[in-house]
Structure 1
Amino acid sequence: MKNRILGADGPQVSALGLGCMGMSEFYSVTPESESESISVLHRALDLGVTFLDTADMYGKGENEKLVGRALSGGRRDQVVLATKFAIHRDPETDARVIRNDPAYIRSAVDASLARLGVDHIDLYYMHRRNPDVPVEESVGAMADLVRAGKVRYLGLSEVNAETLRAAHAVHPITALQSEYSLFTRDIEAEVLPAARGLGIGIVPYSPVGRGLLTGAITSLEGLAADDFRRTNPRFADGNLEANLKLVAELRAVAAESGHTPVQLALAWLLAQGPDIVPIPGTKRIKYLEENCAAADVELTPEQLARIEAAIPASAVSGARYAPDSARHVETR
């Protein structure tokens, strides 16, 4: 696995990380999921994946516990471990509130450290922004965690360029995690240039369009009843069919290149710059190995042009989030 430096002064990480969210929630979890997921995590480490991504809200804390169990037994030092705070879920109703206040940040980091079973977090993100709390106040509290040795580097997720600059003025921000893929290119206009100007690394989540760009999804029928994609606008009637036509074009390019559609989608992202470190998620070893192979795919300028022609930036149908989730994402 090739490596990249995350941010101007950040840690060295594998060119592709591993998003662990789906191991505990959102993409259907079965009784076998935990053992399978730990096998995937161990295989990822064996393949040279050194960048793991979780959050305190995934599985209401269960995902952090899962990652912690996978790293027990001497494997903690093999990874740059990232987690997030801010999305507080009511244990009874599951209602979500965005918390960015310093008191909450201090309690959240201690809870994450306990669940992960570690003495420090390598990269700590503010998962979502509450505009009622000045970002300078939130990042100031996060900086205190660095000084206390509980956190090594700071990150933000789904913020606009203005917020990014204000945060970075308080304490260096190492990474920005935002949705970015052939299907979601919003950050290219303002956020990406701002991050690059500040020396902030980009960590794209959902880099294969929540599975659409893999070419494996052809309808909703194969998705479990509790799979959140059933409520996602891009998978809704009409939108899904239109988006699958775009994927068919990508499949055609992939067939000619000898790679899979997911490998082309990931290789395209990696080709956008050395500061890009995607975190595709999976619960299956075969998909993990397919994803990791994308780090070795060198696309020619002609191939890059064909991929972008297959999926033009403005051609995707449907919003990336339903309205309730979209309200927590800063507008560009």
Structure 2
Amino acid sequence: MGMSEGYGPTSWDDAVATVHRALDLGVTLIDTADAYAFGHNEVLVGRAIAGRRDEVQLATKTGIDRVTGDSWALRGTAGYIKRACDASLMRLGVDHIDLFYLHRAAQDAEIEESVGAMAELVKEGKIRHIGLSEVDGALLRRAYAVHPITAVQSEYSIWSRDLEATVGDALRELGVALVAYSPLGRGFLTGTVDVSALPTGDARRRLPRFQTSENDVIADRVRELAELRGVTPAQLALAWVHGRGAALGVPVIPIPGTKRVKWLEQNVAAASIELTEEDTATLDGLAARVVGGRY
């Protein structure tokens, strides 16, 4: 998303170079959505993976209809889902999508209708697997009764662990993987975000957790521990998410977003970091100190 909007100035050339470098480093999961910059991000991703499609597990999402820049409708009727899939295939320039998510539970349809339409897309060969985003356990179970769900994508990081209580049991029960977005707390856990210096268009200026200095203690603790380990705060935060599979009882796949090759390379290197039990215990306790909601 950040390659197209949300986190300050963007560069098409830098973004494409970053995707190419990711593929060179062995990154195989690329995640986008039709809502990101009104489809711009899907076009960008499609161009970036052109000629290398077989190296990529391609995920995209639908269901957030951006009527205007500030007005969203959560849509999920069968007709909408199918038209959105065709539009995504066109923007991405591919003949199938590996993992197709319902971005949010719809306001105009029950989850059974939305997933039923997605199941038909599987039969047609347009998508391979079905995912949901930001659902609770009850919705996941209802969806799974219609068609197996491969993954749930939710915000998950050292300072955002709500899903453990809302959908964790259902993930384990059904064997559904967790795809963790914003595993770096939208950059906060890197210790490099100065809210006062963020550009006007940066969405973080409006988020409650970024409006108080009380959360600085969390970033400071991550930084201190990272220094002791000889890694960056971002790598430590990612290593924590990488290691959560055993505790949650399901595969956990973090999808850190970045616009630049430098940060991409640091993120990829985090996959080889193993935390001690003491490190994990320290980081586990930080979520309880968070002040402010996610939105």
TM, length-normalised to structure 1: 0.86
Partner of 1:325: none
Deviation, structure 1 residue 222? 2.6
Partner of 2:80: 104
Partner of 1:123: 99
Q: Give yes or no for the alignment of 1:263 onto 2:263.
A: no
Name the CA distance, whole Å, in 2 between partners of 1:299 and 1:193.
25
Q: Could you say what the CA RMSD is over the residues aligned between the two structures, in angstroms? A: 1.2
Q: Deviations over 1:194-219 (max 9, x none)?
A: 112101000011111110001111x3
The secondary structure found in structure 2 opposite 1:314 is: helix
The secondary structure found in structure 2 opposite 1:278 is: strand
Deviation, structure 1 residue 126? 0.1
Deviation, structure 1 residue 303? 1.5
Aligned partner of 1:75: which letter? R
Q: Give yes or no for the alignment of 1:160 onto 2:136.
A: yes
Q: Give yes or no for the alignment of 1:84 onto 2:61.
A: yes
Partner of 2:195: 220
The secondary structure found in structure 2 opposite 1:226 is: coil
Q: Deviations over 1:69-92 (max 9, x none)?
A: 0011x201100000000011125x
Name the CA distance, whole Å, in 2 between partners of 1:266 and 1:122.
24
The secondary structure found in structure 1 opposite 2:7 is: coil
The secondary structure found in structure 1 opposite 2:121 is: helix
Q: Give yes or no for the alignment of 1:229 onto 2:168.
A: no
Q: Give yes or no for the alignment of 1:59 onto 2:66.
A: no
Partner of 1:194: 170
Gaps of 5+ in 1: 1-20, 322-332
Name the CA distance, whole Å, in 1 between partners of 2:209 and 2:70.
24
- Range 295-304 or range 126-135, more displaced: 126-135
Name the CA distance, whole Å, in 1 between partners of 2:142 and 2:54.
32
Q: Give yes or no for the alignment of 1:318 onto 2:292.
A: yes
Name the CA distance, whole Å, in 2 between partners of 1:308 and 1:126.
30
Name the CA distance, whole Å, in 2 between partners of 1:83 and 1:118.
12
Aligned partner of 2:161: which letter? R
The secondary structure found in structure 1 opposite 2:289 is: coil
Q: Give yes or no for the alignment of 1:304 onto 2:277.
A: no
Q: Deviations over 1:277-297 (max 9, x none)?
A: 000000011100111111000
Aligned partner of 1:292: which letter? V
Name the CA distance, whole Å, in 1 between partners of 2:159 and 2:169.
19
Name the CA distance, whole Å, in 1 between partners of 2:8 and 2:192.
16
Partner of 1:24: 4
Between the aligned residues of both structures, percent identity stands at: 55
Partner of 1:326: none
Aligned residues: 291
CA contact 2:141–2:170 (8 Å) conserved in 1: yes
Name the CA distance, whole Å, in 1 between partners of 2:267 and 2:168.
24
TM, length-normalised to structure 2: 0.96
Partner of 1:208: 184
Aligned partner of 1:231: which letter? R
The secondary structure found in structure 2 opposite 1:119 is: coil
Deviation, structure 1 residue 131? 4.8
CA contact 2:75–2:108 (8 Å) conserved in 1: no
Deviation, structure 1 residue 132? 4.5
Deviation, structure 1 residue 306? 2.2
CA contact 2:74–2:108 (8 Å) conserved in 1: no
Name the CA distance, whole Å, in 1 between partners of 2:217 and 2:139.
36
Deviation, structure 1 residue 94? 4.7
